[in-house]
Structure 1
């Protein structure tokens, strides 16, 4: 073997070793992410199982437990009772999510449409970083902003008793998730080929007609995905919602139609409430006994929250895969 051949063989061996090392490192990072996720799910399921009467004896848990029926049909959430029905928390969470969506979705799509179709490169260079800054503000700052400014502003139009109400949480969470809607929707619009736009212009369409009649329908899968991802973010928001809505869990009877109709009453948004995340904060910061019923309910509520957000993320992927346009 000549010297050049030996050098080439050595170089290939070194490259192969580096490639194997890099591959092993990246696999370990991916595996760590999967293991962490599965560990969190396992912890939630295991600890939540101790909360329910059907599984608690199997795990050797002594003391008070709750049934699935009590948990999902109970009309009140109170640690003093304890009445630990999760539906009052779920209803408040859905109210905040719905209100935030009403604010963030139209404004986010309009912002994305402007950035993608109307804004100059100079304007885009300023607006995009501004959206990113908006997304980077700590959530507790948003909560303080809601209590200090949004609630007094709402009180100027509608009589509000106290500092806490669901409407201010809707506004502040809507502002928080607006950058996600705008950014993901704008990326989806930017992915639409220019040939489609030029074809519209060639047929005499105006800028508005091309934007709303061609670009938006072509990017609809990405736009809908941004909606679901943003709403998932709203459901899981903690500190801003805790500060804005307060910690008073309103009664909600899932077996009564009047409870569902109350969710559609605009006046109900100007009253305090307690979301699932706010209840978890209260449980963690309150004087609850470790291993007691109230403590174990923390994991049951967390599991419900996890299932809801997981379902919405799966739905987002299904919509994106089902309606995604493929261009040659």
Structure 2
């Protein structure tokens, strides 16, 4: 059975990544592509790397007949998603890639994103889209809220460890390196080649990054008490990839054994042999996340390193993984592409 798919925000990086992945899906067909500012254009003109695909033209959202759509991906900016999704048909299955439905408490959304929640009436329907930990809820959901790419990376490194009680909860440090595509496709002065290349900088220093809202929400729920991590992201002069180095108190072998056992049957989460650590090169363009564990020279300390592609496993790949569950498809369909190397 062929599933008809719509993508809203198809002219952004995550929209293009969705098209690339769905093109290999055995049971999905892209029926509609929306991009308000580029309506009337063809996808090949916006993204020449997709010129070989037979795709519908870009239109405005108001021009789409959603009665002919089985599932809609919403790859729109924060705040815009709430307004658009609120107006979509109530029986339409939706995977939202923005931050607009990730935080269950509307007050937390306003705290981290700076504006009141515009769709409180449907916030309660939203299921947090970290697939490996919310499978059953996602399969039954109408609306799934994709995670932040940074938030996903940190959670893959930490959730099983918090649940198993093998690490201290009050001294977790997440040092994260993030590729520039995570900032989206809009023109920004600090992302110009001359401003970004040959450099490396921390940003959102001191606990101001919005994905901390997700860490607080999810880690505290697992632990049954407030958990606040120290988190500093750094901007890399690279197109794709996230590398998280997480510093912990805990016995390194126990940390490794806990992660290996938790992810033994997960198709996309690969725990490396003890002492090995991953590179963003090893997951580029794929839906895989590689996780390594090593000890430290200081007794009782462990280091977990996690790598994923922010556009794939961190966003569009995760979204397709969730959509597969929502539509009763094989979870891995369209997602087993090997990483690109070099």
Q: After TM superposition, is the score higher than 0.5?
A: no
Give the alignment's TM-score, normalised by structure 1. 0.23
Larger % of strand: which? 2
Larger % of helix: which? 1
Structure possessing the higher radius of gyration over alpha carbons: 1
State the structure with bigger RCO (CA 8 A, min sep 6), 1 or 2. 1
Give the alignment's TM-score, normalised by structure 2. 0.22
